[in-house]
Amino acid sequence: MSLERISAQNILEDISSVYHYPEQYVTNSNEEGKKRIGFLGNDVPVELLIAAGCIPVPVRGSRNKDPYLADEYLESGFEPRVKMQMGQIVNGIYRDLDYLIISNSSDAVIRVYYYLRALKLAEHDRKLPELYFFDFLHSKVRSATLYNLDRVQELVKELEQWCGHSITNQDLVNAIKLSNKTRRLLKRFSSLRGLKQHM
């Protein structure tokens, strides 16, 4: 087997490990001395998390794990993906996060935030990260734009406080470039997977 093929195999194994065992990634990332900030919802600006110098961790569900704990807190009508995500959080998979940012990307995600906030008050022994609600209005009117700008500025201040330093314009530029490059690579990776499935 060629060195290039071995290297590619190692990369795929690393990606697979992070995908299937996110809790290990969160725990091991502590060695870098960076804040580990999870996020749930489509509206959380990941570029700001990167610019702050922290490690962004998306909260995912898992089809391989029974979300029985989530069923104790969520109504049966919740969509499976959100129920799986809630299950991962209350199961303690993301207990090593320093903070968890939840946006208002859907009614179900908003309710997850309220349920988790209530859980932190009612069950002190349960390991849950500190919660932060990112309220982002989905409207094109000017008042909504101004409101969203205020919420983003508030998030920036929180991130600077959590991470202990200011976010510069250059930090943000670098984070945007990195995020755009990552999206292009993920799109390319997805297309290669499609090609492989049709071979």
- Number of alpha carbons in the 13 Å side-chain half-sphere of residue 198: 6
Annotated domain spans of the chain: 3-166, 168-199
Higher pLDDT, 151 or 14: 151
Closest CA to 36 of 47, 20, 50: 50
Tokens of 77: 């009508």
What is the percent of the chain with per-residue pLDDT over 90, rounded to a whole number? Answer: 47
CB atoms within 10 A of CB 127: 14
Model pLDDT for residues 92-114, shown as the tens digit of each residue: 888 889 999 999 999 999 999 99
Q: What 8-state DSSP symbol labels residue 54?
A: -
Query: Of the ranges 2-6, 34-38, 131-135, 139-143, which one carries the lowest mean pLDDT score?
Result: 2-6
Place of tokens 């969160």: 26
Confidence category of residue 168, pLDDT binned at 50, 70, 90:
very high
Q: Which pTM value belongs to this model?
A: 0.83
Mean pLDDT, residues 119-127: 86
Q: Which residues are 131's β-sheet partners?
A: 100
Report the SS3 class of residue 149: helix
Are 153 and 45 in contact by the 8 Å Cβ rule? The answer is no
CB atoms within 10 A of CB 70: 22
CATH among 3.40.50.11890, 3.40.50.720, 3.40.50.620, 3.10.450.50 for 3-166:
3.40.50.11890
Higher pLDDT, 67 or 197: 67
In this predicted structure, the answer to whether residue 53 has a pLDDT above a threshold of 50 is yes
